Structure 1
Amino acid sequence: MSKSYESDKKKSFTRDAIIGLGEDSFRKNYYPELQDHLLELERINSRNKALMTTIPDILLVSDIQGHISPFNISRLKNNEMILNIMKNKMLISKLRDIVSQVVMTRFLVTYDFQMEVDTKTYYFEARIHISAFDEVLIMIRDMTDRITLENRLKTLVDKDNLCNVYNRRYFEYYLANFNLQEIISFTIIIVDIDGLKLINDTLGHLSGDRVIVSVAELIEKTFNHFGMISRIGGDEFGIVLQGFSINDVENFLDTLRGLIKEHNYQTESVELSLSYGYGHHESGVLNVDHIFQEADNNMYQNKLLKTSSTKNNLVKTLMKALEAKDYITEGHADRMEMLATAIGHELRLPQNIIDRIQLLTKFHDIGKVGIPDSILKKPGALTPDEWKVMCTHCSIGERIANESTELKDIAHLILKHQERWDGKGYPLGLTREDIPLECRILAIVDTFDAMTNDRPYRKALPMHVAIEEILNHAGTQFDPEMVKVFHNVVFKVYPL
Structure 2
Amino acid sequence: MVNRRLKFLAIDDNPDNLITLKALIREVYPDDLVLTALSGPKGLELAAQEDPDVILLDVIMPGMDGFEVCRKLKEDKDLRDIPVVFVTAIRGDKEHRILALESGAEAFLAKPIDETELTAQIRAMVKIKTASMEKRDEKGQLARLVEEKTCELKKAHLKTIELFESLKESEENNRLLITQMEQGLAVQELIFDKTGKPDDYRFIYVNDSFERLTGLKRENILGQVLSEIMPDSKRFLMEKHASLVITSEPVRYERYFEQFKKYFEVVAYSPKPGRVAVILSDITDRKKKEEEILYLIYHDHLTGLYNRRFYEEELIRLDTEDNQPITLVMADVNGLKLINDSFGHVFGDMLLKKTAEAIKKGSRRGDIVARLGGDEFVMILPNTDTFEADQIIISIKKLVENEAIGAIKLSISFGKATKYHIDENIQKVLKKAEDSMYRYKLYESASIRSKTIDLIMNTLYEKSSREMLHSKRVSEICEKIAIEMKFDQDHISQIRTAGLIHDIGKMGIDEKILNNRIN
User: TM (normalized to structure 2)?
Assistant: 0.54
Distance (whole Å) between structure 2 residues aligned to residue 354 and residue 76 of structure 1: 83
User: In structure 2, how many angstroms separate the alpha carbons of the residues matched to 1:41 and 1:206?
Assistant: 71
* Equivalent position of 1:8 in the other structure: none
Q: 1:148 is matched with which residue?
A: 288
1:280 equivalent to 2:411? Answer: no
The alpha carbon displacement at 1:207 in A equals 1.5
The secondary structure found in structure 1 opposite 2:401 is helix
Match of 1:384 in 2: none
Are residues 1:303 and 2:433 paired? Answer: no
**Is 1:292 equivalent to 2:430 in the alignment?**
yes
Aligned to 1:126: 266
Note the alpha carbon deviations across 1:76-105, whole angstroms, 9 max, x for none: 633615679873213245434545531222
Which residue of the partner structure matches residue 185 of structure 2? Answer: 59
Give the aligned partner of residue 450 of structure 2. 312
Whether contact under 8 Å (1:183, 1:284) holds in the other structure is: no
CA 114–314 in structure 1, closer or farther in 2 if over 3 Å, else same = same
Change (3 A) 1:319 1:259: farther
Letter in 2 for 1:71: V
1:68 and 2:203 correspond? yes
Q: Are residues 318 and 48 of structure 1, via their aligned partners in 2, closer, same or farther at CA, if it must alter by over 3 Å?
A: farther
From the superposition, tell whether residues 405 and 297 of structure 1 become closer, same or farther in structure 2 (CA, over 3 Å): farther
- C-alpha separation between the residues in 2 aligned to 1:187 and 1:79? 47
Aligned residue for 1:408? 498
Tell me the CA shift for residue 112 of structure 1: 3.5
CA RMSD of the aligned region, Å?
4.1
C-alpha distance in structure 2 between counterparts of 1:340 and 1:305, whole Å:
27
Code of the aligned partner of 1:58: G
Q: Which residue of 1 aligns with 2:215?
A: 80
Aligned position for 2:233: 91
2:309 matches 1:169: yes
| Structure 1: tracts of 5 or more residues without a match | 1-37, 345-349, 357-401, 419-426, 428-445, 452-465, 474-496
Calculate the TM-score normalised by the size of structure 1: 0.56
> Quick check: 2:478–2:499 contact (8 Å CA) kept in 1?
no
Distance (Å, rounded) in 2 between the aligned partners of 1:255 and 1:246: 14
Deviation of the 1:68 alpha carbon = 2.3
User: Structure 2: which amino acid aligns with 1:407?
Assistant: T
| Structure (1 or 2) with the larger CA radius of gyration | 1
1:247 maps onto 2:382 in alignment? no
**Partner residue of 2:403?**
263
- Aligned-partner SS, 1:112: strand
Q: Answer yes or no: is 1:50 the counterpart of 2:50.
A: no
Q: Which segments of 5 or more consecutive residues in structure 2 lack a partner in the other structure?
A: 1-165, 192-200, 481-491
**Contact 2:475 2:496 survives alignment (8 Å):** no
Q: Give the distance between the partners of 2:342 and 2:469, measured in 1 at CA.
A: 28
The corresponding residue for 2:342 is 202
The structure richer in strand per residue is: 2
* Superposed displacement of residue 234, structure 1: 1.2
- The 1:168/1:181 distance shift into structure 2, 3 A limit, reads same
AA at the equivalent of 2:254: D
CA distances 1:156-187 after superposition (whole Å, capped 9, x unpaired): 11111111111101111111124475752111
Matching residue of 1:222: 362
Matched residue of 2:410: which SS?
Answer: coil
**Partners of 1:308 and 1:404 within 8 A in 2:** no
> What secondary structure is seen at the aligned counterpart in 2 of 1:164?
coil
Q: Give the equivalent residue in structure 2 for 1:482.
A: none
SS in 1 for 2:305: coil
Mapped contact 2:302–2:353 kept (Cα < 8 A): yes
The answer to whether the 8 A contact 1:181-1:286 is kept is no
Alpha-carbon distance, 1:45 to partner: 6.0
Q: Secondary structure at the match of 1:262?
A: coil
Amino acid at match of 2:430: F
Rate the CA distance shift 1:297–1:146 in 2: closer, same or farther, 3 A.
same
User: Offset at 1:146?
Assistant: 1.6
Q: How does 1:324-343 map to 2 (within 5 A)?
A: 328=462, 333=465
Paired letter, 1:104: I
Quote the Cα distance in structure 2 between the aligned partners of 1:216 and 1:280. Answer: 22
| Structure 1 residues 133 and 180, CA gap change in structure 2 (3 angstroms) | closer
CA gap 1:100/1:193 in 2 versus in 1, 3 angstroms: closer
Count of aligned residue pairs for this structure pair: 325
Shift of 1:293: 0.6
CA shift digits 1:411-440 (9 cap, x unpaired) = 44666x99xxxxxxxx9xxxxxxxxxxxxx
Question: What CA distance in whole angstroms lies between the structure 2 residues aligned with 1:242 and 1:258?
Answer: 22
* Kept after mapping to 2: 8 A contact 1:180/1:285: no
Distance across 2 between alignment mates of 1:177 and 1:448: 58
Q: Which residue of structure 1 aligns with residue 244 of structure 2?
A: 102
**Aligned: 1:193 with 2:328:** no
Q: Is the 8 A contact 1:271 1:317 kept in 2?
A: no
Find the partner of 2:377 among 226, 237, 241: 237
User: Partners of 1:180 and 1:93 in 2: how far apart?
Assistant: 33
Q: Cα distance 1:291–1:94, how it changes in 2: closer, same or farther (>3 A)? A: closer
Q: Structure 2 counterpart of 1:233, which letter?
A: G
Deviation at 1:224, TM superposition (A): 3.9
Larger CA deviation: 75-84 vs 161-170? 75-84
Q: Does 1:113 align with 2:248?
A: no
C-alpha change, 1:148 and 1:194, in structure 2 (3 Å) is same
% identical aligned pairs: 22
Contact 1:311 1:404 survives alignment (8 Å)? no
Distance in 2 (alpha carbons) for counterparts of 1:354 and 1:295: 39
- Structure number with greater CO (CA < 8 Å, separation at least 6) is 1
Distance 1:263 1:247 in 2: 25
- C-alpha spacing 1:41/1:215, structure 2 compared with 1 (3 Å): same
Q: What is the deviation of 1:299?
A: 1.0
